[in-house]
Structure 1
Amino acid sequence: MVFVKKLLKIVGYSTVVLLILAYFLFVLPFWGIPFNAQRHGNPPLTPAWALECWLWEDDKNTSAYEDSLLAGYAQHDIPVRTLLIDSPWSLRYNDFEVDTLRYPKPAQWFKGLEEKGYRVVLWMTSMVDSYGKDTRLTASQDFYQNAKQRGYLVGNGNEIKWWKGKGGFIDYANPAARNWWQGLQKNVLQYGIDGWKLDGTATLFRQQIGFLPFLYQKTHSGWMSTRQYMDWYYQEEYANGLRHNPEFVTLGRAMDRWFHPEGFAPIDASPVNWVGDQKHHWRSPEALLSNDKEKDIALDGVQGFESAIQSILRSAKMGYNVIGSDIAGFSGDSIPPRLYIRWAQFSTFCGLFLNGGHGERALWKRSAQELDIIRRFSWLHTELVPYMYSYVVSAHRGGTRLQQPTEGKYHYMFGDHLLVAPIYQDQLDNEVTLPAGKWRYWFNDQELLEGNKKFTKRFPLEEFPVYIKEGSIIPLRIERAYTGIGDSTSRNYLTWLVYPAGSNEFSIYDPQNQTPTTLRVAQHATSLTLSLKGKHLPHILAIHAIKAPKTVTLDGKIITFRFEARKQKLYLKTDTYSIGNYQIDY
């Protein structure tokens, strides 16, 4: 009995010691627990351009191919605002010198992209490599030794292997190292680039003691943990970018499976976020049981589409705001057509629409169905930019974020007005849980649905489970007819999609100075009033109505209107106005 008590005592003490060691050697330096609340502030003011569609590829990595890809997207009328250029684009990692064999005449090329209206984001990490796996200059000992000898690397130049080679970490705590590093970056910042993709090398920050990783290294200012170095990386690169360009962004990781439950980047230093690399896979019991090679490739979803959805919703719950994933996945076998479609539809209702990775991204070389559907949803995402930007401003000011997880399998609110119930597996049927209230289906908004209900519905590939809360006001910028809400005559007008119910209002913000324009809507027994306050904008009011009104006045004067009974829509198009008060009488 005495022996057992002694044994239990030894086990107890040993457990305590092991827990203490685990905390100080892993939990604290790697995750920062429990001090992460102080790391995160409100999301930055993400520029509106970053909410439009992004495009990238990771198979050719040349300006010639990227020019052809952009030309094809323009020819087939698929919207692209941002070109993300991934590695390798530099001579060495990370010397910020453009490889002119891959990207000849870089000054001219970057200027040409800017003149065509594109934004450009370049990949980078915090590594100074002595060896680069796929750069033109694979052996870069001189580059590494120069930084090491000048004391610009942490841990006296301690090297680690990473997925692109071998090198040391730049010491952000050293002012001289920062000046040197930022001087190198001017090589490309001078071309007017708009952002960095900050890949995740900072999470590898460590030194090895035998076979054990020690998650601290000596820097210019003293010992620093992995978690602390990660924060320096994201914060310093974002801050320096903003000094060169007030609309600069960094694309950083938010949540990526279990690796960093506290979030990779500090929220207030992460204007745009993606959730790591997934495969071109999704859940498909039919495909798993079949040898038919025409079936969409399938796994259990853990590292594919479902994993991306899970990470995005966890990121949103933590407080990240503009989040997305590589549409159709980053890598794997050929991209399954139905997966590409569903992933693009889901990304339409995320802040980041990131179309890229390995695999064929020239949609006109894929199926006609993929081209048609993905183009339509790309335009829908583009139309939603004013709506999304309102939640950029709101989140930055401490208010509602863009995505808010809610009841139902992977359900979330996209802003306050849209419920999204993603189809996450290869089937047309999906279960939807409507919250309390009244709702309308985005692709057939004539029918009013009672909320607080769960049901299963079939969604053809041309549609996606998105529901509009009754009483919603949704601002849109429409340039094409693909989505059926407006057409080319809507260009240069702000379209307000209005579903009257009680009294509601919505504010949009000028991306340059956040000047608001607010639309207030009030429903009465036999009339409807709408009033605009703030910056005057040419606009179209697309108001849900079951019958045509008797009269419509603007600032007391009778105006013409258009009513489409089939769509149950009343359209009011206005270029200028004095006050902005509408009265609609039935």
Structure 2
Amino acid sequence: MNDRFTSRIVSWALALLFFFSSANGFSVGKNNPDPTLEPPIWPAWVHKHWVWEHNSTQESAMRYVTDYLDHGIPIGAVNLDNPWDTEVGEFVPDPDLYPDMAECIRDFHAMDVRVFLWVTCMVNEGAPGFQEGKEKGYFLSNGKTVKWWSGQGAFIDYTNPEAVKWWHKKLDNVLDMGIDGWKVDGADPYVMLLMPAMGYGGHHITWNEYKRDFNNDFFYYTREKLGNDRVISCRPVNDFVLRVGLPIVYTDREVNFAGWVGDNFNDWGGLRHALNDMLSSSRFNFVSYGSDIGGFRTDGKQYKDVFIRWAQLGAFCPVMENGGGGEHRPWMFDGETCDIYRKFVMLHHELIPYIYSQAAYSYELVKPTMRPQPGTYQYLLGDDILVAPFFEEGSRRTVTFPKDEWIYLFDESKTYTGGVKKLMFALDEFPVFIRKGAIIPLDVVNDVNGHGSALSSRYTTVLMYPKAGEKKFGLYEEDRKGAMLSYEKSGLSLTVKSTATGRSLLFSVRGEPVPREVADGGGAPLPRADSMAQLVTMASGYFVDGGVTWYAVKDASAGAEIRVAY
């Protein structure tokens, strides 16, 4: 069910289902209310690049992350996957695998790397606490066990208050080490094998009830213990039956802000399966998820083109994570693969202010961040970035452009209007287009992607592609009220504004003429710098660099306004 022809039909069907289930159809919601700018309920770090290896140890996991960093590839989080404990459901690190888990977590934190631990709802028969749990009635259906992919075990009974206390005491053993989240794996569907699943007091439990209780408990109890910068990573939609995006939903959008769409193969079919599930997840308004770059399941072969195209896709998902069976280290393919991978991880990190803000605004509007569009496997990332990922081999991609003008991200001299175009893309580029009129905030720390340089690292770079009229963008912050960025363009004038923010701002206005006059909101002229190096020493000013004019505001704590005349 995942061949090329079927996949084209599936992608269009998923887009149509989204259209009919969405209040705004394919539109960007022009009549939507302004963003609240209130802090989102999840942390921004989940949007950084994560990695993990299948069957790791304390030594190998540390070496794995260090190797990425040594290759110049940023890492924001690592998942310590199954197995890590003595037995599933015991929450005691296996001393042969992780001789000092607390030290391991501290070492990762010292590298500014967050730590997930793999977990399920199961307690396996081999766990030392299994017999106690069974005797005290802490498992569903009187402790009846089922065979699942990682052993024979019973289900914790979340409807029994004493069972939950017992379970939490076990969790505390690793929560007290300061983990940052759980990879909550999908053992919960096996509850249907109990036939029936009976809880505390004879309550009959459905899978829908059980998966809600299971995921909610890990989410809310972990936050109760450690704070609101902790998350769980769960499947949003994962069609493991036909792999065409059937709406098999594993969790609620209210607790899953770091999702992944399950276990895919490492070939083009696996990539299409991931796309099917990601686009299907949009119907249920999840805002932050991705897929295992390069696939979880392996056929023992390496597919360089699939791996690169999947990494590029990951860069334009709210969550960019890479791990699973087989080889996932980009430098083990070849130098070109590593260079491309590094470039796109850095681009993803640049996009975090945009992704975090658009995900937060989407959550408020009860809509997805990845929004399916007409065309084969196309979606909008937020309001203004069109992504047409590769889903089969080759360098040619047919792109269906919505109305408006679209600017090619990797060469802004190329623009396209509505209609169908067949385009060629080099292996180190990807079909991504920015809507004319957009505001795109970035964190730029180098010149790899052409959006600035190391000088930009002291600022939030704000790309602007002005068109006639007014445009607003809500820039959300993790721990405080956000700011509203905006511009108004009329005739030969442009006014750029920001409400109060603790950020220094570097507005990068693209495709406009050289300014004739530039002034602040009070009418005072702003000085023109001779170079970017000079501009970043100024309290405020501007610098013209070809077709881009940079406007710097070092202190925007009281807001900022720049008036430009052409």
TM-score normalised by the chain length of structure 1: 0.83
**Alignment map for 1:135-146 (pairs within 5 Å):** 139-140=126-127, 142-146=128-132
Alignment CA distance shift 1:585-1:124 (3 Å): same
Greater RCO (Cα-Cα under 8 Å, separation 6 or more): 2
Deviation digits for residues 92-121 of structure 1, max 9, x if unmatched?
Answer: 111111112211222222112112211101
Which of 463, 467, 475 is the equivalent residue of 1:508? 475
**Alignment map for 1:204-219 (pairs within 5 Å):** 204-207=190-193, 214-219=195-200
Q: Hey, what does 2:156 align to over in structure 1?
A: 170
Q: Is the Cα contact below 8 Å between 2:294 and 2:328 reproduced in 1?
A: no
Q: Hey, what does 2:57 align to over in structure 1?
A: 62
RMSD after superposition: 1.7
Q: Hey, what does 1:46 align to over in structure 2?
A: 42
Alignment CA distance shift 1:221-1:376 (3 Å): farther
Which of 570, 574, 586 is the equivalent residue of 2:549? 570
- The yes-or-no answer on 1:580 pairing with 2:560 is yes
- The yes-or-no answer on 1:306 pairing with 2:272 is yes
Deviation digits for residues 404-455 of structure 1, max 9, x if unmatched?
Answer: 111110111100001111111111001000001111111111233222x101
**Alignment map for 1:113-512 (pairs within 5 Å):** 113-130=108-125, 139-140=126-127, 142-207=128-193, 214-220=195-201, 222-244=203-225, 245-257=227-239, 261-282=247-268, 301=269, 304-332=270-298, 333-451=300-418, 453-502=419-468, 503-512=470-479
Q: Is the Cα contact below 8 Å between 1:203 and 1:227 reproduced in 2?
A: no
Alignment CA distance shift 1:238-1:220 (3 Å): farther
Q: Is the Cα contact below 8 Å between 2:140 and 2:156 reproduced in 1?
A: yes
**Alignment map for 1:516-531 (pairs within 5 Å):** 516-531=482-497
What letter matches 1:228 in structure 2? E
Q: Is the Cα contact below 8 Å between 2:358 and 2:383 reproduced in 1?
A: no
- The yes-or-no answer on 1:558 pairing with 2:537 is no
Alignment CA distance shift 1:168-1:454 (3 Å): same
Q: CA deviation at 1:322?
A: 0.6
Q: Is the Cα contact below 8 Å between 1:497 and 1:541 reproduced in 2?
A: yes
Alignment CA distance shift 1:252-1:165 (3 Å): same
Q: Is the Cα contact below 8 Å between 1:562 and 1:572 reproduced in 2?
A: yes
Q: Hey, what does 1:3 align to over in structure 2?
A: none
Question: How many matched pairs?
Answer: 505
Deviation digits for residues 518-546 of structure 1, max 9, x if unmatched?
Answer: 11111121121111112242111111134
Name which of structure 1's ranges 162-171 and 263-272 shifts more when overlaid on structure 2: 263-272
Query: Helix, strand or coil: the match of 2:234?
Result: strand
Sequence identity of aligned pairs in percent? Answer: 30
Query: Helix, strand or coil: the match of 1:445?
Result: coil
CA distance in 1, matches of 2:145, 2:367: 43
Deviation digits for residues 117-160 of structure 1, max 9, x if unmatched?
Answer: 11101000011101xxxxxxxx44x4311110011111000000
Q: Is the Cα contact below 8 Å between 2:283 and 2:368 reproduced in 1?
A: no
CA distance in 1, matches of 2:235, 2:40: 15
Q: CA deviation at 1:204?
A: 0.5
Q: Hey, what does 1:85 align to over in structure 2?
A: 80
CA distance in 2, matches of 1:109, 1:564: 47
Query: Helix, strand or coil: the match of 1:340?
Result: helix
What letter matches 2:312 in structure 1? Q
Q: CA deviation at 1:184?
A: 0.5
Query: Helix, strand or coil: the match of 2:416?
Result: strand
CA distance in 2, matches of 1:216, 1:95: 22
What letter matches 1:94 in structure 2? G
CA distance in 1, matches of 2:106, 2:374: 47
CA distance in 2, matches of 1:227, 1:162: 19
Q: Is the Cα contact below 8 Å between 2:141 and 2:197 reproduced in 1?
A: no
What letter matches 2:554 in structure 1? D
CA distance in 1, matches of 2:280, 2:184: 20
CA distance in 2, matches of 1:206, 1:119: 34
CA distance in 2, matches of 1:54, 1:220: 42
CA distance in 2, matches of 1:394, 1:483: 26
CA distance in 2, matches of 1:519, 1:246: 27
What letter matches 2:440 in structure 1? I
Q: Is the Cα contact below 8 Å between 2:160 and 2:199 reproduced in 1?
A: no
- The yes-or-no answer on 1:104 pairing with 2:104 is no
Q: Is the Cα contact below 8 Å between 2:553 and 2:560 reproduced in 1?
A: no
Query: Helix, strand or coil: the match of 2:458?
Result: coil
Query: Helix, strand or coil: the match of 1:197?
Result: strand
Q: Is the Cα contact below 8 Å between 2:158 and 2:214 reproduced in 1?
A: yes
Deviation digits for residues 547-573 of structure 1, max 9, x if unmatched?
Answer: 3212222232322222222xx211122
Runs of 4+ that moved beyond 3 A: 218-221
Query: Helix, strand or coil: the match of 2:413?
Result: strand
What letter matches 2:168 in structure 1? Q
Alignment CA distance shift 1:93-1:44 (3 Å): farther
Query: Helix, strand or coil: the match of 1:397?
Result: helix
Q: Is the Cα contact below 8 Å between 1:45 and 1:392 reproduced in 2?
A: no
Query: Helix, strand or coil: the match of 1:346?
Result: helix
TM-score normalised by the chain length of structure 2: 0.86
Uncovered stretches (5+) of structure 2, i.e. residues with no partner: 1-38, 529-541
What letter matches 1:173 in structure 2? T
CA distance in 2, matches of 1:80, 1:166: 35
CA distance in 2, matches of 1:146, 1:536: 53
CA distance in 2, matches of 1:364, 1:554: 48
CA distance in 1, matches of 2:493, 2:511: 11
CA distance in 2, matches of 1:335, 1:572: 46
Alignment CA distance shift 1:321-1:579 (3 Å): closer
Q: Is the Cα contact below 8 Å between 1:328 and 1:335 reproduced in 2?
A: no
Which of 495, 498, 504 is the equivalent residue of 1:532? 498
Alignment CA distance shift 1:168-1:470 (3 Å): same
Name which of structure 1's ranges 44-53 and 323-332 shifts more when overlaid on structure 2: 44-53
What letter matches 1:57 in structure 2? E
CA distance in 1, matches of 2:442, 2:385: 14
CA distance in 1, matches of 2:294, 2:430: 16
